Amino acid sequence: MMMIARIVGVHGVAVGLVAFAAVAPYTAVAANLDGSKPLLCAVNTIMECDGSGQCLRLASDRHPDFPAFLRVNVADRTITDGNGGAESRTTAIKTVTRLDGRLILHGGENGRGWAATIAESTGRMSAGVVADEFAFALFGACTTP
């Protein structure tokens, strides 16, 4: 598929997220997901779309360019893939906004832009990575490690 050929080698950033069980009270959960503490995130679903509008839905473990887990550190303004090893990839968070109970992050590199929104009350996340010929929509959840 032409779309896959364009996307191979993306090595860009994805914002993704881990589903979690809420055992703390609502206010404690919200406080932990406001960016004041590092977040561990997992990507559950990826929609990969090409310039013609054709899209392909994939589970995160089936996409070669996106890690299954990400570490989001708002204080350091970085997102790092979840393996934490010497070959980890990192991208800079350019802007951070808190709006209407959501943590909103923006960045970009290598000719691509990205944005992610994390609901402070639930950890649910949606993110997008865009370029001139393709786009990704990512869905998942975050928690504090």
The phi and psi torsions of 30 (rounded to 5 degrees) equal: -60, -40
Which domains are present in the chain? 2-143 (2.40.128)
Tens digit of each residue's pLDDT, the chain (145 residues): 334 333 333 333 333 222 222 223 333 444 589 999 999 998 899 999 999 999 999 887 777 677 888 899 999 999 998 766 667 789 999 999 999 999 999 999 999 999 999 999 999 999 999 999 999 999 999 999 8
